[in-house]
Amino acid sequence: EKWVYAFGGGSSEGDASMRNTLGGKGANLAEMANLGLPVPPGFTIITDVCNAYYDGGKTYPAGLDAQIDAALAGLEKVTGKSFGDPSDPLLVSVRSGARASMPGMMDTVLNLGLNDETAEGLAKLSGDRRFAYDSYRRFIQMYSDVVLGVDHSLFEEILETFKEENDYTLDTELSADDWEEIVSQYKSAAASALGYDFPSDPREQLKGAIGAVFDSWMTDRAITYRRLHDIPASWGTAVNVQAMVFGNMGETSATGVAFTRDPSTGDKGYYGEFLINAQGEDVVAGIRTPQCLTKAMREAMGDREPSMEEALPESYAELAAVFDTLERHYRDMQDIEFTVERGRLWMLQTRNGKRTANAALKIAVDMAEEGLITTDEAVLRVEPSALDQLLHPTIAPDAVRDVIATGLPASPGAACGTVVFDSDVAESKAAAGEKVILVRIETSPEDIHGMHAAQGIVTARGGMTSHAAVVARGMGRPCVSGAGMMKIDYAGKFFTAGGRRVEEGDTITIDGATGEVLAGEVKMFKPELAGDFAKLMVWADKARRMKVRTNAETPADVQTAKEFGAEGIGLCRTEHMFFDADRIAAVREMILSDDREGRVAALAKILPMQRADFESIFEIMEDRPCTIRLLDPPLHEFLPHTEDDVRDVAAATGLSATALMERARSLGETNPMLGHRGCRLGITFPEIYEMQARAIFEAQVNVEKKTGVQPVAEVMIPLVATAKELEILKARVAGVAKMVQQETGKAPVYLIGTMIELPRAALRAGEIAEAAEFFSFGTNDLTQTTFGLSRDDAGKFLGDYLDAGIFEKDPFVSIDTDGVGELVSLAAERGRKTRDTLKLGICGEHGGDPASIHFCESVGLDYVSCSPYRVPIARLAAAQAAL
Ligand code: ADP
Ligand code: MG
Ligand code: MG
């Protein structure tokens, strides 16, 4: 079995298609080498080894050692250097690399292979002792920290003390001898912390580092990250061993990270940061503030240090050419790591870059317009749920900005909350319903849960590619990074900036688009959904088969949904109209009357109000179909709660308060959700449904007269379990339609159908479809009734079910495709067998959930319906489901 794949030196054994085997980093290193780009050679130990390692109780599969030895020999051959050879030592980095990019995994170890002899050799060979010992001390610190578990603060303290004693402020002031001294102090510190000597044998070092990568797959950090991102443990990580190139070899050497387009805005133009005479993670770690990649960036940010374009123009030009090659090859925006060693460019990583929702949208649209991808591909490039971020508030242009501090605009959007300094505190306060802003000197993978819980993040250190910035963009959290003027006191729980003091619990607002931290709560705005958004939606609309409707009943919501592109109403809940202040008394009067006469009198008061509601909905929706559900909830919900309520009804009806109280008590139910509700009300009190039907049909006629546009009504009878219920009620509704026609001389245009929300209805869909002209799957209730799980109470224990792995996802959020889904598909099939024109849709929360929308496409529903703000998400998800 092949466990190890070589890359570089002209060709590779693997390529980008082998991501599952080689991990993302390894696959792309191989691919770049195949493209002829300058990649330091190396080899990848595949992800299967990780699984074998754990299956075998942390032992390696047979034959692995021999394959590593062979790969190392190959590497020595291509580089012309040898491992542990003082005359020309091979040095390597050891890098983890899972299938999906995973912060929270082992940190990379650089400069592996150094010991007293090879360090001296490197000094001679490079003619730069300072460089050699700088590399050596970095290696001891990194390896001790990452592989041997010695805390890095031990080394930082040694360095600080040394600098103080010698009156140095910057690392750059240390000479070669100084670094050599530091190295010997580091080694003895490591030895006393470990109880044994720091390993000097390069092979032993390598073995240790490889083991550390595999061990890091099961750290709490990594497990948490996988849980948050739905990454299965079975994917495993690969290990990349790669020849070192050095960005710390003086003023013509550098290291950096770059994006081929701006990951915040999506603007076309290279974007990134670099540091001269630095190595690896210096840029990301925020130790020195990095310089801008391009001149344009530097000018835009008012940064005074020269950009790479200006400081290293030749390397920059070479890099820019590589960007183009990579973008054309991968047909997506790339996130790149590079190093320049004495003027020579080396590529160390490329991957599809993480981006904000805004950038994802802009890049997808731009690339389609550039002809790099098709419009269908553009549609597939934008995560539907990310559109939510586009609806993120921004600070109102006219808002008063009381700026406390300014940093970098690391992740867009505005957020407001109370200041917290600790991720655990952020998590607990957020769990208690408080909106918090997490303020940290810098963040690390240990802060992920706090960042997740916070509305926004502020850091005092770090650049645009710092941990905080990258993670915040991925999560869609607004973030301001590198607000250097902020002095944060964790112990005292406050920060100061510009002479002001902000305590934990104080409210601040952050603007991730400008990098400002503002005092207090600031007025915010929702963004416009024009431009690129509209273009992508046009492409999505072209690609999708299913229609998208909305669940709405107030004119404001209906209008919003229409602007978001709703093609009809999938669910108009008439009871929402019953609760309005001007009519609840009449509704109570109707419910509490103990005879038909009393009810009819009360209903006569409600009729004009309900008709007016429907008129305004029809006017907004024009000729789009509107599914109107007749009264559904248990009467229980409308009963008077207070004595005042009862007095109001008594005054209106002339009945005694005592009699009304008695009647209310008799209507109370033990289990109202399975009680007197839905079509059962229509059976007992047909006059209620008849009034509603009349309101609908008269409204149609009136609107048609007024606007000349014919409204289309779909009258929906809820909670049907048997065909007979529907037959009886359909006849009633049709009778009203006929009456309205006789009275007005106009025939209302309507369908009559039902909601499928009980398992029996799903099973008997064949006969129900004899009467029903449409089905709308009410999957909230269908989930509730299929699982026998109360939606109102499940919250208390659903968490346990998710933790125990009984539910993969909350079945009320994402449809249970196996159980509830089987009922849906069976009902769809049986219903259509009876009536091939049967219209099928879904209403309820699932209609706005991308995974559930995919399911709806797979069973061939005609439309999904969701809340107004989710309409764009549903349009995009429906398109992706169809592609
Ligand atoms: P991460 O997955 O955290 O980004 P990487 O393995 O990409 O970790 O490495 C971290 C840093 O070390 C990067 O800046 C990378 O460019 C640098 N690096 C990794 N391998 C080498 C190498 N062989 N030579 C020089 N720098 C390297
Ligand atoms: Mg790292
Ligand atoms: Mg990297």
DSSP string, 79-147: HT-EET-TTSEE-EEEEEEESS--TTSPPPEEEET--HHHHHHHHHHHT-HHHHHHHHHHHHHHHHHHT
Residue nearest to atom 17 of ligand 1 (CA): 280
Instruction: Kindly report, residue by residue over 832-882, the tens digit of the pLDDT.
Output: 999 999 999 999 879 999 999 999 999 999 999 998 878 999 999 999 999
What atom of ligand 1 comes closest to residue 348's alpha carbon? 16
**Residues in contact with ligand 1 (CB, 6 Å cut-off):** 40, 93, 95, 108, 110, 242-245, 280-281, 337, 339, 348-349
Cβ–Cβ under 8 Å, residues 785 and 850: no
DSSP tag of 251: T
Mean pLDDT computed over every residue of the chain: 92
Ligand with the closest atom to the CA of 275: 1
Ligand with the closest atom to the CA of 444: 2
Closest CA to 482 of 505, 504, 457: 457
419 three-state secondary structure: strand
Among 39, 93, 107, which is best to mutate for testing ligand 1, by the most ligand atoms less than 8 A from CB? 93
790 three-state secondary structure: coil
Active-site choice (843, 846, 856, 866): 843
CA distances from 348 to 4, 317, 351 (A): 19, 17, 11
CATH, range 254-312+323-355: 3.30.470.20
Residue found under tokens 């050497």 = 253
Q: Find the 647 Cα to ligand 2 centroid distance in Å.
A: 69
Quick one: the chain helix, strand, coil %, rounded to 5? 50, 20, 35
| Exposed / middle / buried, residue 621 (Cβ in 10 Å: 0-12, 13-18, 19+) | buried
User: 3-state SS string over 627-672?
Assistant: EEECCCCCHHHHCCCCHHHHHHHHHHHCCCHHHHHHHHHHHCCCCH
CA distances from 843 to 65, 86, 161, 226 (A): 58, 72, 66, 32
Residue nearest to atom 18 of ligand 1 (CA): 280
**Dihedral in degrees, nearest 10, Cα atoms 563, 564, 566, 571:** -100
Q: What percent of the chain has pLDDT over 70?
A: 98
What atom of ligand 1 comes closest to residue 240's alpha carbon? 6
Closest CA to 269 of 340, 366, 352, 338: 366
CA distances from 282 to 59, 132, 256, 288 (A): 34, 17, 9, 7
User: 3-state SS string over 324-385?
Assistant: HHHHHHHCCCEEEEEEEECCEEEEEEEEECCCCHHHHHHHHHHHHHHCCCCHHHHHHHCCHH
Q: Find the 91 Cα to ligand 2 centroid distance in Å.
A: 18
Q: Find the 337 Cα to ligand 3 centroid distance in Å.
A: 6
701's enclosing H/E stretch is helix 686-707
What atom of ligand 1 comes closest to residue 338's alpha carbon? 16
Q: Collect residues with CB below 5 Å from ion ligand 3.
A: 337, 349
Residue 843 a catalytic site member? yes
Residue nearest to atom 14 of ligand 1 (CA): 280
Amino acid at 443: T
Contacts by 526-534, CB closer than 8 A, 24 or more apart = 526/391, 526/393, 526/394, 527/390, 527/391, 527/392, 527/393, 527/394, 529/390, 529/564, 529/872, 532/361, 532/362, 532/365, 533/361, 533/390, 533/872
Going from N- to C-terminal start, the domains of the chain cover 1-115+201-244, 125-200, 254-312+323-355, 392-525, 544-882
Can you give the pLDDT at residue 645? Answer: 80
Ligand with the closest atom to the CA of 106: 2
What atom of ligand 1 comes closest to residue 95's alpha carbon? 6
Q: Tell the CATH superfamily of the 392-525 domain.
A: Phosphohistidine domain (3.50.30.10)
CATH, range 1-115+201-244: 3.30.1490.20
Residue nearest to atom 20 of ligand 1 (CA): 93
To 5 degrees, how large is the angle CA 154–CA 160–CA 162?
105
Residue nearest to atom 23 of ligand 1 (CA): 244
Closest CA to 256 of 282, 294, 217, 229: 282
Can you give the pLDDT at residue 634? Answer: 86
Among 22, 92, 108, which is best to mutate for testing ligand 1, by the most ligand atoms less than 8 A from CB? 108
Residue found under tokens 């490197």 = 122
Q: Find the 140 Cα to ligand 2 centroid distance in Å.
A: 17
Active-site choice (50, 292, 392, 467): 467
Instruction: Kindly report, residue by residue over 636-662, the tens digit of the pLDDT.
Output: 778 887 788 888 888 877 778 888 888
Cβ–Cβ under 8 Å, residues 859 and 828: yes
Residue 479 a catalytic site member? no
Residue nearest to atom 8 of ligand 1 (CA): 108
Rounded CA gap, 639 and 7, in Å?
Answer: 74
DSSP tag of 18: G
Instruction: Kindly report, residue by residue over 334-344, the tens digit of the pLDDT.
Output: 999 999 999 99
Q: Find the 142 Cα to ligand 2 centroid distance in Å.
A: 11
Q: Find the 92 Cα to ligand 3 centroid distance in Å.
A: 15
Can you give the pLDDT at residue 835? Answer: 97
Among 348, 354, 467, which is best to mutate for testing ligand 1, by the most ligand atoms less than 8 A from CB? 348
Q: Would the CATH topology of 125-200 be identical to that of 254-312+323-355?
A: no
Ligand with the closest atom to the CA of 351: 3
One DSSP character per residue, 729-771 reads HHHHHHHHHHHHHHHHS----EEEEEEE-SHHHHHTHHHHHHH
Number of separate helices (H) and strands (E) present in the chain: 36, 33
Contacts of 552 (CB under 8 A, 6+ apart): 558, 560, 561, 566, 569, 571, 572, 867, 868
What atom of ligand 1 comes closest to residue 92's alpha carbon? 23
572 three-state secondary structure: strand
Residue nearest to atom 12 of ligand 1 (CA): 280
Polymer length of the chain: 883
Rounded CA gap, 347 and 29, in Å?
Answer: 8
Fold of 125-200: Acyl-CoA Binding Protein (1.20.80)
Rounded CA gap, 206 and 204, in Å?
Answer: 5
> Could you give the ipTM of this predicted complex?
0.96
10-residue mean pLDDT series, the chain (883 residues): 94 95 97 97 97 95 96 96 95 95 83 97 94 95 95 93 93 92 96 96 97 94 86 93 94 95 91 91 73 92 87 97 97 97 96 90 96 97 83 78 92 92 94 94 85 94 81 80 93 95 96 93 79 94 97 87 94 83 81 88 93 96 98 84 80 81 85 92 95 98 96 98 98 98 96 98 98 96 93 80 86 93 98 97 91 97 91 96 97
Q: Find the 276 Cα to ligand 3 centroid distance in Å.
A: 18
Amino acid at 4: V
* Highest CATH level, class, for 544-882: alpha beta
Packing angle of the helix pair 129-146, 176-194 (nearest 10 deg): 20
Instruction: Provide the β-strand partners of residue 271.
Output: 259
Tokens representing 486 are 């902020």
Q: Find the 107 Cα to ligand 3 centroid distance in Å.
A: 9
Instruction: Kindly give the pairing relationship between strand 82-83 and strand 750-756.
Output: unpaired
Among 32, 95, 131, which is best to mutate for testing ligand 1, by the most ligand atoms less than 8 A from CB? 95
Q: Find the 467 Cα to ligand 2 centroid distance in Å.
A: 9
